[in-house]
Structure 1
């Protein structure tokens, strides 16, 4: 028998990240496999199980040394029913019974959650959240993701839709159309795509958000206005979240956050402008620390707290 460990899995559209961790959240081993989206994602569970068992064997341990497995997956999750819905980039039908199928394949307890929520748990536990139990995570990538942690647990809402920060309306009139069908969502003005949208509204073109940031650094006035507008909308949303939830930290991650202080400095000023003073007194804005490991660390935390 080896040291007891936690299993973790972060299912993405192109790859599946997996890891074994200690109960304190230190990664023992991590690896990834390609996501097989053929046949409606039918083979994903069996591929996870095979890879998981191969890595256990390589470590010279067995499934008996694993306490439980936490899994983050795209789309709204129903942790009670153990189902995932809306994972269109993988091909799973609504209500896909991920927990049941993985438990049968792994012969271990499995706990599931939305992937963005797992990343939020990871940052709360071992990342920029630094163990604070009340943390809001905002991920600025192609879209805007989010996760809300209160007293160390994810807030999921009635049907798993809590924490959809990217779909807070920040442009109430004449906003850009969002993929969700609404107009004026935060995602349309604060994601990588949103920054390009704002730049086009200035009458200029850029292939990606990185280019807009580069042009701002070179003195492009339109690009500077776009970054300020992005920070404004993001600060408005975070301020209202802070007024509602009173978190200790807001953790900002994702590719767009790599712009650093050019975005985060004005963002902090706008958050201060829109946040109730008493809530602002205890709030700090932090850059995410865990990168691609956030999902597996958060999934392991889920497995830990669900088996205590």
Structure 2
């Protein structure tokens, strides 16, 4: 990879359902400066791009200006690596097909590449984190939704259309499954995302009468962090929520292992940092459901990178490969 020192920096942008985080990254993978905006605040993609650029430009100028930036890499929900578009993303406010890479190129004059946010996180993890040196692993991102980046023989799997690796939309409940943001019923994402955990909490609180610290919070305001805080304080209902969530995720991971026999499954996102409350049921369900020939072969790991870093670094890695805009 010939980076060329005349353009020593790239930009990585991670678009989440809630927050967008961006950073200037050097050739060693150090995030030199970063910023963030709320993704949901902007009704149109044009307003959103304008706001990100407004916050990003001062960071670029502080590093010597646009001429020092080799490219921009973006990780986004439903991001298509081949076309540079976001297409029908259920957790974003802008509907339809959004030519986001082209919009950033036009605004800043910097070549831009885009991929699925979980694919970007997988690249970051492979380059800088828990998957260093691995050629076969699966990254599972547990955020507003459930994303996945599948790496086989050292390469991210994109499929023929750029959309491969939507493991969050594997259907886990065929009968009476929850409505998912994608419009279907029973997807893994509807149960095992941070929003899924909050939904489970609301359902259990409504169906049961046993005491719980979570009853002190208005039901519609409960977050996965509230469930974790209650679990740490010994709340049995909160611990049950984690047990349900982890069991379902472990069952899904057992199926994913059968598909690509990964060396590791790396969990990323706030929910993955819930420690034994989530990891023990995941591991137990994985072990109980995995095919015999795969038993004990796949490591279950938590990302080593800070929450925003994996996706920002992974997205930025795309940018080193970009050619200049003529």
Same fold (TM over 0.5): yes
Give 1:149 shift.
Answer: 2.4
SS in 2 for 1:42: helix
- Between stretches 152-161 and 113-122, larger displacement belongs to 152-161
Deviation per CA, 1:222-254: give whole Å up to 9, x if none. Answer: 544443332221111111111101112111122
Pairing 1:297–2:313 present: yes
Query: Residues of 2 paired with 1:103 and 1:159: CA distance?
Result: 22
Q: How does 1:16-95 map to 2 (within 5 A)?
A: 16-33=20-37, 37-38=41-42, 40-59=44-63, 61-74=64-77, 76-87=78-89, 91-95=93-97
Deviation per CA, 1:22-68: give whole Å up to 9, x if none. Answer: 22322222223455854613133344445444323222x24333222
CA RMSD of aligned residues (A): 3.0
SS in 2 for 1:56: helix
Contact 2:40–2:93 (Cα < 8 Å) also in 1: no
Give 1:294 shift.
Answer: 1.8
Query: Residues of 1 paired with 2:37 and 2:7: CA distance?
Result: 25
Q: How does 1:279-290 map to 2 (within 5 A)?
A: 279-290=294-305
Q: How does 1:212-251 map to 2 (within 5 A)?
A: 212-213=227-228, 216=231, 222-251=237-266
Contact 1:40–1:90 (Cα < 8 Å) also in 2: no
Give 1:115 shift.
Answer: 2.1
- TM, length-normalised to structure 2: 0.80
Query: Residues of 2 paired with 1:172 and 1:228: CA distance?
Result: 20
Contact 2:35–2:56 (Cα < 8 Å) also in 1: no
- Between stretches 32-41 and 137-146, larger displacement belongs to 32-41
Contact 1:143–1:187 (Cα < 8 Å) also in 2: yes
Q: How does 1:107-256 map to 2 (within 5 A)?
A: 107-199=109-201, 200-201=203-204, 203=208, 206=214, 207-213=222-228, 216=231, 222-256=237-271
- TM, length-normalised to structure 1: 0.84
**Which stretches in structure 1 are left out of the alignment for 5+ residues?**
none
**Which stretches in structure 2 are left out of the alignment for 5+ residues?**
215-221
SS in 1 for 2:257: helix
Query: Residues of 2 paired with 1:280 and 1:162: CA distance?
Result: 26
Pairing 1:272–2:287 present: yes
Contact 1:36–1:43 (Cα < 8 Å) also in 2: no
Deviation per CA, 1:246-300: give whole Å up to 9, x if none. Answer: 1121111222222201220231122122223444454211112221122211111
Query: Residues of 1 paired with 2:88 and 2:102: CA distance?
Result: 18
- Between stretches 124-133 and 197-206, larger displacement belongs to 197-206
Deviation per CA, 1:131-157: give whole Å up to 9, x if none. Answer: 423221222234322222233433233
Deviation per CA, 1:75-132: give whole Å up to 9, x if none. Answer: x222222222224665545232222222233222211112232222222221222242
